[in-house]
Amino acid sequence: MQGPSRAERTREALIDATVVALREDGSFTTEQVAATAGVSVATVYNRVPEGRDGLLAGALDRALDRLVAVTAGTLDVEHLLDEGLGCVVGALVDGLVEVFDEEALVLRSALARLPESRLLRGSYRHREAEARQLNRRFVELGQAAGRIGDGDPDELADALVVLCQGLNNPVLLGRHDRSALTGHVVTAIVAVLAPEG
């Protein structure tokens, strides 16, 4: 099996350099990314024809991939049956907060450009659809097992997306001790999903 081509490796190195710059400073220049990756500015535009938005979209994809991976790894029906809804939601919230905290500057930079960039909007929508699909499957399986309340699975999945996106908030991420606030968020999510009575 063949590995990534040189062009793909160069593109990945450029995205890596963009992520590093964003995590450190919350911004980047094409020149800075090129220098960090050890290539010319012309190579940046050759490998990422969309320029700054392409680099930012690549960085956003990396951050969103991590968030989707946390969702996929924690919304597990077996864990729900063994440990209960509160434990699953607690693990989800903790995992998402960790990623949101580590990727805060990447996400803020990308989200600030979202209204102007079709490329960024497309990436964001794609990952959001993945999260919705994971949430919906978890809700449906949880409902079948009697561990999640009745209701439209799409609406509950969307509510979960909205509540989890709210974790990307400076009020939460700026705290040294987040446990009380994340506990309240977990309680709110459980209240939305739990069966009545």
Residue 193 has pLDDT above 90, yes or no: yes
Residue 174 has pLDDT above 90, yes or no: no
Instruction: Return the CATH fold of 59-193.
Output: Tetracycline Repressor; domain 2 (1.10.357)
Query: What pLDDT, in 10s, does the model give residues 110-140?
Result: 999 999 999 999 999 999 999 999 999 999 9
The residue-averaged pLDDT of 167-187 equals: 94
Domain with CATH 1.10.357.10 in the chain: 59-193
The residue-averaged pLDDT of 175-181 equals: 93
Domain with CATH 1.10.10 in the chain: 1-49
**Enclosing H/E stretch for 150:** none
Place of tokens 């459980």: 190
Query: What pLDDT, in 10s, does the model give residues 59-77?
Result: 999 999 999 999 999 999 9
Q: What percent of the chain has pLDDT over 90?
A: 93
As a whole number of angstroms, the distance between CA 184 and CA 107 comes to: 24
Q: What percent of the chain has pLDDT over 70?
A: 99
Residue 197 has pLDDT above 70, yes or no: no
pLDDT attached to residue 4: 82
Confidence label for 196 from pLDDT (cuts 50, 70 and 90): confident
The residue-averaged pLDDT of 89-109 equals: 97
Q: Which two tokens stand for residue 170?
A: 């400076």
When computed from its CA atoms, the radius of gyration of the chain, rounded to whole angstroms, is 19
What kind of architecture, by CATH, is found in domain 1-49? Orthogonal Bundle (1.10)
Place of tokens 């009380």: 180
As a whole number of angstroms, the distance between CA 127 and CA 64 comes to: 6
Helix runs in 5-76, H state only: 6-25, 30-37, 41-47, 52-74
**Enclosing H/E stretch for 107:** helix 104-113
Q: Which two tokens stand for residue 126?
A: 């794609």
- Tell me the pLDDT of the chain averaged across its residues: 95
Angle subtended at Cα 137 by Cα 106 and Cα 89, rounded to the nearest 5 degrees: 60
pLDDT attached to residue 2: 80
The residue-averaged pLDDT of 168-177 equals: 92
Residue 3 has pLDDT above 90, yes or no: no
49, 5 contact by CB (below 8 A): no
